[in-house]
Amino acid sequence: MSLIVQKFGGSSVSDAEGIKRVATRIVDTQAAGNQVVVVVSAMGDSTDELLDLAEQVTLYPEELSPEADGLVSSAREMDMLLSAGERISMALLAMAIHRRGASAQSFTGSQAGMFTDSIHGRARIIDVSPHRIRTAIEKGDVAIVAGFQGMSRDSKDITTLGRGGSDTTAVALAAALGADVCEIYTDVDGVYTADPRVVPAARKIDLISSEEMLELAASGAKILHLRCVEYARRFGVPLHVRSSFSHNEGTWVIPDPDTSITIQEGEPLEQPIISGVAHDRSEAKVTVIGVPDIPGKAAEIFNIMAGAHANIDMIVQNISTHGSGRTDISFTLPIVDGKEALAALKAAQSAVGFESIEYNEHIGKLSLIGAGMRSNPGVSARFFKALSDTGVNIDLISTSEIRISVVTAEDKLDAAVRAVHHAFDLDAGSKATVYGGTGR
């Protein structure tokens, strides 16, 4: 008997029909002789809708002083609010399974033993003790767990893991339960060479290493949560990313060769040079202008950013303008971290001694990823030619061993992604199927 963890994303359970379809799939998996643990996300775009509501009730009218806002942090309440989305879908899913004659029980994150630290909105898992889940599946129930949430071990408050965190819940449970596979169900047939919503000619990838998947996820591919890929790699959990709308074989994300992978006969031993193109619209660019060009200033700035919990991505320091003794430092960070980061920087302006700050949310990041880049010259040349042929101006550049990323203007991003995808011969002859979801 196998133990399978199945995770269903919001687009798979966006309405009653979706919940019924998923319930049938779960019951079939169990009837085939498996123990099944399900992790479910909130229905459709309901997490975004809850966020919109929260914003509406916290906007202050003109006559209230802005200082009244932000003095009391609502981070704890935000997690209470957002965790409700997954409670709705898990209970409905359990009912739909009952209707199909199987037994199922739903569990909140805390009931499932997901213990986290106390950082609201981006809590990290520190312990998984799924006793109740084990008991439930041993007595023949389907166990359904609310994704993306846990409980702080210190404060006992409800926490959430950050947007898209249900994938990480699923992998963490799969690791703790010693599951045979963690299936991530979504609205496309697997991991594609680019987002099929932007590049209809994108191709499905059958097999990808955790290393490349990590770079794709880190570069903005929303198909898998970055932390879920890291977790799966660490604990050697095989991931199978597939569609809940079809029975097609999806994409296998395999832990690195040195952990455990048996290459099936007929599989190519050498990987293609490029595995895909990812894009990201969720970052903003900060430029700190006129920073004194002396040792220690970058350390001061990034220490301030760390204190503001900002996840810094690309960093570029310009050469100091001749004779001025000053330089500019640009970096990108998630838009959601922008407000707090800017406030922290402004507060330290005179101490650090920089002249001003520029902030731009209308940027896009494009990344080309492939393990084969390491041993193939000419990749950068082809990449930059594709961008210049499309008239895309490049703002920042960063690279790793298996990735090249650039920042461009946001309105040029889609065209740039298509051009690069085409330039590396990744286009398929057919159009990728997007079964559902709004891509929000």
Which residues in this chain contact ligand ASP in the complex, by CB under 6 A?
Answer: 9-10, 41-42, 47, 85, 147-148, 163-166
- Positive or negative torsion for Cα 181, 185, 189, 190: negative
Residue 166 interacting entry, from ligand ASP, Mg ion, none, C-beta within 5 to 8 Å by type: ligand ASP
Residue 163 interacting entry, from Mg ion, ligand ASP, none, C-beta within 5 to 8 Å by type: ligand ASP
In angstroms, rounded to a whole number, what is the distance separating the alpha carbons of residues 411 and 279? 12
- 334 in contact with Mg ion (CB under 5 A): no
Residue 85 interacting entry, from Mg ion, ligand ASP, none, C-beta within 5 to 8 Å by type: ligand ASP
> Exposure of 140 by Cβ count < 10 A (0-12 exposed, 13-18 middle, 19+ buried)?
exposed
Q: Cβ of residue 265: shortest distance to ligand ASP, in angstroms?
A: 36
Q: Give CA 69 to chain center in angstroms.
A: 29
Measured from the CB atom, is 147 or 250 closer to ligand ASP?
Answer: 147
**Binder to Mg ion among 6, 10, 105, 120 (CB under 5 A)?**
10
Measured from the CB atom, is 42 or 274 closer to ligand ASP?
Answer: 42
Measured from the CB atom, is 339 or 440 closer to ligand ASP?
Answer: 440
Residue 220 interacting entry, from ligand ASP, Mg ion, none, C-beta within 5 to 8 Å by type: none
Measured from the CB atom, is 50 or 298 closer to ligand ASP?
Answer: 50
- 41 in contact with Mg ion (CB under 5 A): yes
What contacts 136, CB < 8 A, 6 or more positions away? 105, 107, 142, 143
Strand-pair category, 35-40 with 3-8: parallel
Measured from the CB atom, is 165 or 364 closer to ligand ASP?
Answer: 165
In angstroms, rounded to a whole number, what is the distance separating the alpha carbons of residues 175 and 197? 32
Residue 196 interacting entry, from ligand ASP, Mg ion, none, C-beta within 5 to 8 Å by type: none
Show the binding pattern over residues 239-278: x = contacts Mg ion (CB under 5 A), - = does not: ----------------------------------------
Measured from the CB atom, is 168 or 193 closer to ligand ASP?
Answer: 168
Measured torsion, CA atoms of residues 413, 411, 340, 43, in degrees rounded to the nearest 10: -70
DSSP 316: E
Task: Give the residue at shortest CB distance from ligand ASP.
Answer: 166
| Token pair of 107 as six digits | 């569990």
Q: Cβ of residue 245: shortest distance to ligand ASP, in angstroms?
A: 17
> Exposure of 100 by Cβ count < 10 A (0-12 exposed, 13-18 middle, 19+ buried)?
middle
In angstroms, rounded to a whole number, what is the distance separating the alpha carbons of residues 22 and 3? 18
- Residue count of the chain, please give it: 440
Residue 424 interacting entry, from Mg ion, ligand ASP, none, C-beta within 5 to 8 Å by type: none
Q: Cβ of residue 43: shortest distance to Mg ion, in angstroms?
A: 9
Q: Which range of residues in 38-46, 106-114, 254-262, 286-294 is near Mg ion by CB under 5 A? A: 38-46
What contacts 299, CB < 8 A, 6 or more positions away? none
What phi and psi, each to the nearest 5 degrees, are found at residue 409? -65, 145
H helix intervals, 150-247: 166-177, 210-218, 226-235
Q: Cβ of residue 149: shortest distance to ligand ASP, in angstroms?
A: 9
Q: Cβ of residue 147: shortest distance to Mg ion, in angstroms?
A: 9
- Please, which residues bridge with residue 208 across strands? 253
H helix intervals, 159-273: 166-177, 210-218, 226-235, 257-260
Q: Cβ of residue 182: shortest distance to ligand ASP, in angstroms?
A: 14
In angstroms, rounded to a whole number, what is the distance separating the alpha carbons of residues 329 and 327? 7
Residue 165 interacting entry, from Mg ion, ligand ASP, none, C-beta within 5 to 8 Å by type: ligand ASP
| Token pair of 87 as six digits | 């409670």
Q: Cβ of residue 217: shortest distance to ligand ASP, in angstroms?
A: 13
Measured from the CB atom, is 9 or 130 closer to ligand ASP?
Answer: 9
What contacts 234, CB < 8 A, 6 or more positions away? none
Query: Which residue in 133, 223, 239 sits closest to 183, CA to CA?
Result: 239
Q: Cβ of residue 303: shortest distance to Mg ion, in angstroms?
A: 34
For the chain, the maximum distance between any two Cα atoms, rounded to a whole number of angstroms, is 79
Measured from the CB atom, is 126 or 336 closer to Mg ion?
Answer: 336
Q: Cβ of residue 132: shortest distance to Mg ion, in angstroms?
A: 25
Q: Cβ of residue 134: shortest distance to ligand ASP, in angstroms?
A: 23
What do you get for the CA distance between the two ends of the chain, in Å? Answer: 38
Measured from the CB atom, is 124 or 382 closer to ligand ASP?
Answer: 124
Residue 436 interacting entry, from ligand ASP, Mg ion, none, C-beta within 5 to 8 Å by type: none
In angstroms, rounded to a whole number, what is the distance separating the alpha carbons of residues 178 and 379? 40
Q: Cβ of residue 42: shortest distance to Mg ion, in angstroms?
A: 6
Residues binding Mg ion (CB under 5 A)? 10, 41
